[in-house]
Amino acid sequence: MPEAPDRSRRIIFTGAAGGIGTMIRPLLARLYPGLVLSDRVRPKDLQSGETFVAADLTRPDEVASVMEGAHSVLHFGGQASEGPWDSILQANIIGCYNLFEAARQAGVKRIVFASSNHAIGFYPRRKRIGTDVTVRPDSRYGVSKAFGEALGALYSDKHGIDVTCLRIGNVGPRPVDVRRLSIWISPEDLVQLIQIGLDHPKVRFEILYGASDNAASWWDNSRAQKLGYRPTGKAEAFRAHAEAEQAKIGPDPVSDLFQGGTFCSAEFTNDVKRAGP
């Protein structure tokens, strides 16, 4: 199980103004008072007592300034969806490298990296997978998350930073379609995984799936469970809502086959029988 949080640590939270950041900040604030929030733009709902430092991940000097004196980093910054190559390259690849390198130079001890299910999106839905599979990204965005995982392994092995990569499914109050019945994670369960990354004494380099206790899950998350993960969210409780929403979407011959959903079908020009393992 994670150790009791050390409240004296300086912890940086990049991407604090984003969708996930906005959902989990109130939960993190109770566990880690003094959390330093960072993003390109100031969060609209910044609370008294919260510290915000603006930084653009593509600017090494700004990232280095934020990292000064930091013990740990929650790296949720960057582009959160598919986009043109140059925007993915700048925000999620160059920006991710700038983050890890600035953290190394600042003597950061731990990094929790927000990876994504889209790093393995071309695995078929009928196949249950663990965290030791070869990456099969479904998009340029997925490629950038696979890069971040590889970078985390490098900085862990070469520089001794404890790195936890969370292959996040979909965060929200409830799953919004049938696909998300398999990959949904509640904000509370995501924070529990973050606690493992920040506090567990046995973390060196880990890849964990960001999913709640979902009966329809495609993922073996036994490693997270060994580290003390006890999810309380259950996607099945929202099945009726998810199925009703799915009926509005209709079938997709590519998306419906693969774990990455529409990220797989977008721009798809292959024969579906040749895609995926």
- The residues that are catalytic are 141
H, E, C per residue of the chain: CCCCCCCCCCEEEECCCCHHHHHHHHHHHHHCCCCEEEECCCCCCCCCCCEEEECCCCCHHHHHHHHCCCCEEEECCCCCCCCCHHHHHHHHHHHHHHHHHHHHHHCCCEEEEEEEHHHHCCCECCCCECCCCCCCCCCHHHHHHHHHHHHHHHHHHHHCCEEEEEEECEECCCCCCCCHHHHEECHHHHHHHHHHHHHCCCCCEEEEEECCCCCCCCECCHHHHHCCCCCCCCHHHHHHHHHHHHHHHCCCCCCCCECCCHHHHCCCCCCHHHCCC
CA 238 from chain centre, in angstroms, equals 22
How far, in Å, are 54, 87, 105, 138 from residue 64 at the CA level?
12, 21, 8, 32
Structure tokens at 79: 């582009």
Nearest of 122, 120, 121, 115 to residue 133 by alpha carbon: 120
